Amino acid sequence: MAALEKKYSVTETKQGKELSCAYHVCCKLLLRNMVEWVHPLPIDEALYTKNNCNRFFNTEEMDYHDPRHFTPDICTQNGHIKIHLFRYFYQLYLNASCSRVGAVKPMHMNVPCIFEMLYKNDSRPPVKRIMDEVIQLKDRLHITWSSTEVINMPGLFPAIQKIIRLGFYVGAYLIDETTCSEHASHAVTVIDTVGENQIIFKDSLGSKDYYTANIDTLFPLESDVCKNGKPYHYRVEHCVFFLPCRDVPIGFVDTPEKMEAFHAWLDEYTSHFHELLSPSTFKVGDKVAIGSIRGQIETIVEDGFMVTYKEGTRTKTKRFSADQLTKVGGTRRRRKSRKRIR
């Protein structure tokens, strides 16, 4: 699968007075890092915005929304799908009572909490069709979606940058322990970075399309205020990385040694992203056959493999897809079988 196109989404979710910021972040991570990685859902912004379709992402008013009001002809085909999926994920989190998910006490953005229910699927056509695609790809690639919690310490921002470059989002957990003489917490969705230490994030409490903050310092968030009317001054306490992978990374990073190990995993993950998530088992150095031609895989590219082979006395390098290649060495019986199928 290719990396996602890094583009700010037109969709905006709102929690109103609900204490559900973590659910909003979890749903956004599921939509972006799971669903849209499998099935991209770009939206025609003109029609979507004209009909104010973001109102259907307001979970405080979710019970009053009639599905007949966010049909494809009103909110675009992909907007219609994203609204259904978001509402489906959100209801699963509400029904699951995921541990430590909420905004009134310290919590985890427990994205995998609903996995057992998620893979049982939903009968509504747009949800079932998309989730069938996700499940089929998951089984075919032998991958999973893994969640890693990383405490804010040296190395966090470069880790965020590495994942943002792939077009994925990152969850951020914010805390304020001083402004109102009480502990306050909030969760937001990091969608981009800028400079050496600034994150750009979406906030389900806010009125803006996105916000910018320094990851290393306190910052006010006018969308969230104390009883005395003062805005909370938050800091990033930790971030959650929710990623498709075969080799599951460390689950909790809170020491320099663990951060170093996590970065080693990220470097391998990002540099071999297409190889790690390819449906084939081919890797650099494998000897392969293309019909009667014999060659060796030199590099892996986004849409296939660069294979070096000899044609007469000349050495050539050409791109081939996984379907065109057969691994040589111990696979003769499989090659015969594949030939009969053709």
Residues 298 and 320 occupy one common structural domain = yes
Evaluate whether 306 touches 299 at the Cβ level (below 8 Å): yes
Does residue 333 lie within any of the structural domains?
yes
Residues 242 and 293 occupy one common structural domain = no
Does residue 15 lie within any of the structural domains?
no
CA dist 42 → 10, 106, 133, 168, 184 (Å)? 9, 34, 17, 15, 35
Neighbours of 30 (CB within 10 A): 26
Does residue 224 lie within any of the structural domains?
yes
CA–CA gap between residue 83 and residue 45 (Å, rounded): 14
> What is the Cα Rg of the chain in Å?
23
Secondary structure class of 130 (helix, strand, coil): helix
Closest CA to 262 of 110, 167, 156: 156
Domain count within the chain = 2
**φ and ψ at 74, to 5 degrees?**
-100, -45
Residues 239 and 323 occupy one common structural domain = no
Does residue 1 lie within any of the structural domains?
no
Residues 291 and 148 occupy one common structural domain = no
Residues in a beta bridge with 199: 193, 213
Residues 52 and 138 occupy one common structural domain = yes
Residues 115 and 205 occupy one common structural domain = yes
The parent domain of residue 335 ranges over 287-341
Tens of pLDDT along the chain (342 residues) come to: 556 665 678 999 999 988 899 999 999 999 999 999 999 999 999 999 999 999 999 999 988 888 888 999 999 999 999 999 999 999 998 888 665 433 333 345 788 888 878 867 666 778 989 999 998 888 878 788 999 999 999 999 999 999 999 999 999 999 998 777 677 889 999 999 999 999 999 999 988 889 999 999 999 887 778 877 788 899 999 999 999 988 889 999 999 999 999 999 999 999 888 766 665 567 788 888 887 788 999 988 867 889 999 988 899 999 988 767 777 653 333 333 333 333
- pLDDT at position 1 is 57
Residues 40 and 104 occupy one common structural domain = yes
From 251, 276, 301, give the residue that closes a domain: 276
- pLDDT at position 6 is 57
Residues 139 and 110 occupy one common structural domain = yes
296-301 CB contacts, 8 Å cutoff, 24+ apart = 297/325, 300/272, 300/274, 300/275, 301/274
Residues in the chain: 342
Residues 84 and 25 occupy one common structural domain = yes
Does residue 3 lie within any of the structural domains?
no
Q: Where are the alpha helices (DSSP H) in the chain?
A: 21-29, 36-38, 45-50, 72-75, 77-96, 115-118, 125-141, 156-164, 256-271, 273-276, 332-341
Closest CA to 74 of 59, 60, 58, 54: 54
Does residue 164 lie within any of the structural domains?
yes
Residues 244 and 324 occupy one common structural domain = no
Does residue 14 lie within any of the structural domains?
no
pTM of the model: 0.79
From 276, 303, 332, give the residue that closes a domain: 276
Closest CA to 142 of 36, 304, 278: 278
**φ and ψ at 254, to 5 degrees?**
-140, 10
Residues 311 and 261 occupy one common structural domain = no
Torsion, Cα of 245, 108, 262, 237 (10° steps)? 140
Residues 134 and 162 occupy one common structural domain = yes
Does residue 167 lie within any of the structural domains?
yes
